[in-house]
Structure 1
Amino acid sequence: MNRRRMYSASRMLRIVCAASFAAMAPPAVAKPFCSFASAAPVDFGIYSVFATQPNNFGVGSIQVNCQGGGGPINITLSTGQSHSFAARQMRSGASTLLYNLYISAARSAVWGDGSGASSAVYLDKNSNTKLDIFGQIPARQDVAVGNYSDHITAIVNF
């Protein structure tokens, strides 16, 4: 009989321990996440200082993958080296070349963080989307010959 009581007590102890650990486990929560799957730079080609109309248009893209979450997601772009959305600046040494990045091919809404005259891009909470970035360099800029570049940071807010 002792053996039977020991077996029952041992079995009961295992059940109590298992129940205790189950009670201590945190609830399962699916956390939202977003990532940039890929990015393609905006390439403006060769700029001509003699052009009287804007003729340097570039298109780049970012691929955004977001899952979960409770509301809309927005994608913002930084100002780069200019610290202004009014006119971003590419640099080559001490020379600067003005340009900007836009949300659509119409190039009417500057892609920024929503401050000033800029706009952010909004996506659904569950989204795997390729977003095009449209760039334009204004005409009539007298700049030195060189390779001009800027560094823009894309941020996902969710």
Structure 2
Amino acid sequence: MNARLFLSSLRHLLACGLFACLGWAGSAHAIDCTVTMSDIEFGEVNVLDTTPVSVNGEVKVECSDMTTKFARVCLSFGTPGGGTVANRTMAGPTSTRLAYNLYQNASHTTPWGSVYLAPAQPRSVTLQADAFGMATATVMYYGYMLLPQPAVPAGSYAAIFTTADTNMNVQGYVTTPPACSTSMPQGSPWAFTVRATVISDCNITATNIDFGQIGLISGPVSANGNISVTCSAGTAYSISLNNGTAAGATPGARKMTRDGGTETLTYGLYIDATHNIAWGDGTGGATVMMGTGTGLAHELPVYGMVPPQPGPVPGVYRDTIIVTITY
């Protein structure tokens, strides 16, 4: 009888030992998770625009070897190349950087940050295991670029997120999801690139030139207008003026035509205040105005002059000049 009791106790000990080993192996086996996402492409960006640029996409999380019913996965984005979580930037052809950001929500109010940066703003997602200990979840990222950024030159821009700039913290649980923290076990990081192409652009406006009321034209009559040009930084441009609407007009002798008649009044438009350099299209002895954009508005005066000439028929005289900017 003592022998039977001994064998029974031994079987009990062996069963408990086997259970303990199985329990230890399950808790020590890490959950295996991977992240898949495409590069983030903002496409062509006009930094003179005032409408923000948005681009959305998916981040897919796949986990296996889940030994608990649920897993909390915390995804972190860093700030490669400088900037902050609230204001990330892309590098381009010069030291001037293109600002953008990545958000967790469509309203662009919660930046997508990291458990390792302050404030800690990782994106968390909960996965529920299937019968095989596997689970998949998809979350959205929201890329956002505020405009204008007129000082940013044209060119290609990128922010390269290497595996040193991303992080995944993974922890299984049964009832209460753990908070994202640096103490959670780490999963595999991933890599992606954010890209944008800044295009050259210019905006131009012009004011009218009014010579006022003129009687006998025994001496020159002057009046000035203004052309305002804003070009993205580093964009070379030229501005030309056509000869107007009257037949036979030239850069140095444009013609205003009387309303309701055919009579004309000769005048000229010039680059300089001394009325020596006619502003035209580069032909007929005239020149064009050239410059390079800075992202700021550049005011260009247009000097008009009506030279002495026989008194015209009274009336209102007009001409229309087309201003063309080439860049």
- Cα offset for 1:39? 2.6
1:153 maps to 2:322: yes
Q: How has the CA–CA distance of structure 1 residues 24 and 63 changed in structure 2, closer, same or farther, with 3 Å as cutoff? A: closer
The aligned residue for residue 4 of structure 1 is none
The aligned residue for residue 35 of structure 1 is 203
> Which of 81, 102, 114 is the equivalent residue of 2:245?
81
In 1, Cα distance between the equivalents of 2:281 and 2:297?
21
Q: Which runs of 5+ in 1 are unaligned?
A: 1-6
Q: Matched residue pairs, number?
A: 141
Report which of the two has the higher share of helix: 1
For residue 81 of structure 1, give the secondary structure of its aligned residue in structure 2. coil
Q: How has the CA–CA distance of structure 1 residues 30 and 95 changed in structure 2, closer, same or farther, with 3 Å as cutoff? A: same
> Which of 22, 26, 42 is the equivalent residue of 2:39?
22
The aligned residue for residue 281 of structure 2 is 113
CA contact (8 A) 2:237 2:325 kept: yes
The aligned residue for residue 212 of structure 2 is 45
Structure 2 letter corresponding to 1:64: V
Q: Which runs of 5+ in 2 are unaligned?
A: 1-30, 44-194
For residue 219 of structure 2, give the secondary structure of its aligned residue in structure 1. coil
Q: How has the CA–CA distance of structure 1 residues 23 and 60 changed in structure 2, closer, same or farther, with 3 Å as cutoff? A: closer
- Bigger Cα Rg: 2
In 2, Cα distance between the equivalents of 1:134 and 1:123?
18
| TM-score for both structures, normalised by structure 1 | 0.78
- Cα offset for 1:47? 2.0
In 1, Cα distance between the equivalents of 2:255 and 2:291?
28
Q: Which runs of 4+ in 1 moved over 3 A?
A: 23-27
The aligned residue for residue 135 of structure 1 is 304
For residue 80 of structure 1, give the secondary structure of its aligned residue in structure 2. coil
Higher relative contact order (CA 8 A, sep 6+): 1
Identity %: 27
